[in-house]
Amino acid sequence: MAVIEEIIEEPTTINSGLEETHGSNTTSQLKATEVASQGKDKDGNGNHVDNSETIEPIHTMESSEDKELFEEATRHKVAGNQHFGQGSYTEALKCYQLALSTCPAEATPSTAANADKDIADQDKMDKVFNAITKKYRSERAVYHANMAACFIKLKDYDAAIEDCATALELDPSYMRALQRKAQAEELKGTLSSMNQAKQDHEMVIETLKIELGLIEPRYEVNDSLEQGGIDKGQDTIATKSSERSSSSSSSSSTSRDAKTSIRPNTPEPNLPTFKPKKLDLDEVAKKKHRLMIQTSEQALKRMEPVLKELLEKEKAEMIGKLKSMGNSILGRFGLSTDNFQMKQDPSTGGYSFNFVNKP
C-alpha cells in the first residue's frame, strides 16, 4: 500500500470567523470572535499542522482566568507546531496535550458580565457564552487533530483515528479532521478500516462540494441550525465516522499513552446533527476546499484496487474455513468438500453446488 503523505494546506491569511480555524466561515461566528492571521508550520516534507492565532472575543464577558488559560494553551499549540515542523513528533504531541489540558472546556462568566446592565438579558448572555464556549471547543478540536497528525507520523493509527473522532465530536464541520481520520484508516490497512476510510472520504467530498455550491444538499437546512451555538446542537458528531465517546482528564508524555489524554465532556445525545450548506467563501478558502476534494478523490482512486484485493483475500479465508468445517463433518461419511463443486452463475452472481462422486 502506498504511503500517504500528510495532508497539505497552502499558507493562508484569514480574517474571518472562528470557523476559519477549520476552513469554513459563517456569519454568526463573526459576531462572537475575532481571528488573527494564521499560517501553517511545515516539517521537512512540506507537511502542515493547524497554526491559527486567535484573540479574545469582542465581548468582555469572558473571565480573566479563562482568557489566561486560553492564551497559555495557544502558546503550547504554537510550540507544538514548531516541534512538528522540526520532525520532533513526540515533543509536539506533549505540547498539544498540554494545550488540551490547559484550554477551558466551557466559558465562565466574568465579573464585568454579571455587573453589565446592557447584557442582563439572559438570552443574550446565553448566546455570548455559547459563542465563547464554541471557540474553546473549536480550538480543542484543533489540538486533537494535531495530536492525530503526530500519531500518524508515529504510526499509531488507532490513536490517530480516536483523536480525529474526538475532534469531530467537538466540531462536526471539521472536514480536515475527517480527512485525517480517513488517512489513518487507510494506513491501518484492514478491510473494515479501509471501508470506513472510503466512507469518510466520500463524506469529505460531498460536504465540501455542498459548501462550494457545486452540488445541492440532500436535505433542507434547518434555519435554527444556522445561528450557531452549543445549545443548538452544532457540536454533536454528525458523520458516519463517530466511533466512540469518552471523557478523561489525564495527560501523558508518551505517544501511546497520549491516546487517552484529555477528553472533552460527552456531547448531549439526540441533538440535531451538522448539515453542510453553501458558504460564502473567499478565494483562499475555495482553493483549500478544492485541494481537499482532490486529496480525497485521489485517495478513493488509490484505495479501490486495495479494497478489492482485501475483499478477495477475506472471501478466500472464509471459504477455507467453511471447507475445513465441512470436511470435519463429511469425513464421517467418507466424503469431503471435494465431492461438491461450486459454480457461479455469471448472470446473477449466485452460486450452485453439484455433487461429484469421486473414488
154-164 tens-digit pLDDT: 999 999 999 99
Q: Is the pLDDT of residue 61 over 80?
A: no
* 305 grid coordinates: 484496487
Q: Is the pLDDT of residue 50 over 80?
A: no
Q: What is the pLDDT of residues 304-335, one digit of tens each?
A: 999 999 888 877 778 778 778 877 787 777 77
Q: What is the pLDDT of residues 329-348, one digit of tens each?
A: 877 777 777 777 777 788 88
Helices (H), the chain: 27-30, 64-85, 89-102, 111-115, 122-153, 157-170, 175-188, 191-212, 223-226, 283-330
What residue type is 38 in one-letter code? Q
Domain locations in the chain?
18-309
Q: Which long-range contacts (CB under 8 A, 24 or more apart) does 155-160 make?
A: 155/187, 156/255, 156/256, 156/259, 157/184, 157/185, 157/187, 157/188, 157/193, 158/188, 158/259, 159/255, 159/256, 159/258, 159/259, 160/184
Q: What is the pLDDT of residues 213-247, one digit of tens each?
A: 999 988 665 544 444 433 333 333 334 444 433 43
pLDDT number for residue 343: 76
Higher pLDDT, 94 or 55: 94
pLDDT number for residue 270: 40
Residues 130 and 230 sit within 8 Å (Cβ to Cβ) = yes
| Average pLDDT, rounded, for the chain | 73
85-94, 100-109, 143-152, 167-176: range with lowest mean pLDDT: 100-109
For the whole prediction, is pTM greater than 0.85?
no
Q: What is the pLDDT of residues 84-119, one digit of tens each?
A: 999 999 999 999 999 999 999 888 766 545 555 555
Terminal alpha carbon distance of the chain: 45
The predicted model gives 185-191 an average pLDDT of 95
Q: Is the pLDDT of residue 134 over 80?
A: yes
Candidate CATH numbers 3.40.190.80, 1.10.10.10, 1.25.40.10, 3.40.50.150; the one for domain 18-309: 1.25.40.10
16-30, 107-121, 188-202, 212-226: range with lowest mean pLDDT: 16-30
Phi-psi group of 259: left, alpha or beta (phi > 0 → left; psi -120 to 50 → alpha; rest → beta): alpha
Residues 76 and 94 sit within 8 Å (Cβ to Cβ) = no
pLDDT number for residue 321: 80
Rounded CA-CA distance 281/148 in Å is: 27
pLDDT number for residue 110: 60
**How many CA atoms within 13 Å lie on the side-chain side of 39?**
6
pLDDT number for residue 259: 42
Q: Is the pLDDT of residue 286 over 60?
A: yes
